[in-house]
Amino acid sequence: MEKYENIEIVGEGSYGLVMKCKHRETGQVVAIKKFLATEEDVQIRKMAFREIRMLKKLRHENLVNMIEVFRRRKRLYLVFEYLDHTVLDELEENKNGIDWEKSRRYIFQILRGLDFCHNHKIMHRDVKPENVLVSPNGVIKLCDFGFARYITNESCTDYVATRWYRAPELLIGDSKYGREIDVWAAGCIYAEMVTGQPLFPGDSDIDQLYRITKILGPLYKSMNGSGKHILRHTKPDETVSLTRSTSLRNLFPTWSSVAIDFLTQCLRTDPTFRPKCLTLLQHPFFLQDNFADRFLSELQRLVVKESAINLLGTKRAESSSRICRSSIGRLT
């Protein structure tokens, strides 16, 4: 820590804490994640090394940039580029929602970041407004990979992320979920960005299911059995009907048909029909008015501009620039 000056603590958790620091030589502000004594706690050590392995693979302009890792006094430290603004902050500043064009730019970048993760067999598992960083130039960066896991055929039973953005398969206790849960969360975030209000603000798992089915209709057949299992374990006044529903069109009557269809695809209750991120990036929602081509060119310029002030992450910035060009080629 000798080369960094600690400015303040900006976050704490069961794993340790996050500090805002300044690099003494360059003056660059960074975020440093300090883990608890990893030599003494097996679980903390396992979590830390898993996150480090993932972050070393995830070099993309729409993912937070890990600058370096070091160990001091039996503790691991992860150094990241520092951004103090999130989509949650924007929502708190804009109670009626973020404007249409900015929301489209943001969700486009969120999907690009997730697509890169999924291509590397990694699911984020905690996509929510506060984990979506926004640079001063509007470049989106997904952060906090503490809950991220590799995509395998094995069961995952330790999912603990925020309820409002949980896909139906998580709510009914399906332990063999995959990257589709990130797509669902992205859809929830998009609706919230446009309206200023969370789409499914449930106060329990059963209330969450109720809110989902009220808008999207009954759950798919293979999920209904598990859904009934949940209903049998609820209080009498929590019993809900899974048959009555409105629709996204009725809920958002002023939205364009292409925006409604985009959100509908993100929120397919059957994960087997929920599109991959790359498919969504090629949806007419992004192709109309030549948005994807125009914005990708602008994004590349913004990434190069921001890399000039990220002195500690020069190598990562160069890699990011190559990734951006690759993504442009893939989408055109």
Estimate to the nearest angstrom the gap between the alpha carbon of 25 and the chain centroid: 33
Domain final residue pick, 42, 57, 82: 82
Inside any domain, residue 284: yes
* CA distance readout (Å), 169 to 68, 159, 272: 36, 12, 11
Supply the CATH number for residue 189's domain: 1.10.510.10
144-145-151 Cα angle (round to 5): 155
Cβ atoms of 277 and 298 closer than 8 Å: no
76/98 same-domain check: no
Inside any domain, residue 323: no
204/273 same-domain check: yes
Q: Which segments of the chain have a pLDDT < 50?
A: 224, 227-244, 315-332
Domain final residue pick, 82, 99, 124: 82
Spatial CA neighbour of 160 closest among 169, 147, 149: 147
Inside any domain, residue 319: no
28/142 same-domain check: no
99/166 same-domain check: yes
Domain final residue pick, 57, 82, 107: 82
Catalytic residue flag (residue 126): yes
Residue 221 corresponds to which tokens in the numbers above? 């057949």
Return the pLDDT at 129.
Answer: 98
62/131 same-domain check: no
Estimate to the nearest angstrom the gap between the alpha carbon of 9 and the chain centroid: 23
> What is the domain count for the chain?
2
C-alpha–C-alpha distance, residues 318 and 118, integer Å: 22
Return the pLDDT at 157.
Answer: 58
Inside any domain, residue 325: no
C-alpha–C-alpha distance, residues 292 and 278, integer Å: 12
187/272 same-domain check: yes
280/153 same-domain check: yes
Residue whose token pair is 């993504």: 327
Residue 107 corresponds to which tokens in the numbers above? 């969700």
37/182 same-domain check: no
What letter does residue 172 receive in the DSSP assignment?
A: T
What letter does residue 113 receive in the DSSP assignment?
A: H
C-alpha–C-alpha distance, residues 42 and 62, integer Å: 31
Cβ atoms of 262 and 285 closer than 8 Å: yes
Of 84, 99, 126, 144, the catalytic one is: 126
Inside any domain, residue 218: yes
Q: Is 56 annotated as a binding residue?
A: no
151/245 same-domain check: yes
140/281 same-domain check: yes
pLDDT 10s digits, 269-315: 999 999 999 999 999 999 999 999 999 999 999 999 988 877 787 54
Inside any domain, residue 275: yes
Inside any domain, residue 216: yes
Return the pLDDT at 161.
Answer: 66
Residue 16: domain span: 4-82
Supply the CATH number for residue 64's domain: 3.30.200.20
157/71 same-domain check: no
25/117 same-domain check: no
Return the pLDDT at 329.
Answer: 42
Inside any domain, residue 296: no
